[in-house]
Amino acid sequence: MAPMEYRRLGRTGIKVSVLSYGAWVSFGTQLGNKEVQDIMRSAQEAGVNFWDNAEVYASGQAETLMGQAFK
């Protein structure tokens, strides 16, 4: 597997992965806590540090599950 590429976020000095992981379709409606943790761990191990979420995804369940996985 090729190493993750990163890009600078403007002039902040922060580097974000060129790939992000989004919770829109799957978290809360199709996947539970254990699956979310496994997916996020795999993504992080692959170098992902850019996560997409919003309070409207799965009526807020996606944020809750992602927060629990980060915890």
The catalytic residues are: 57
CA distance 62 to 14: 25
The answer to whether residues 24 and 51 touch, using CB atoms and an 8 Å cutoff, is no
Rounded CA separation 15/30 (Å): 31
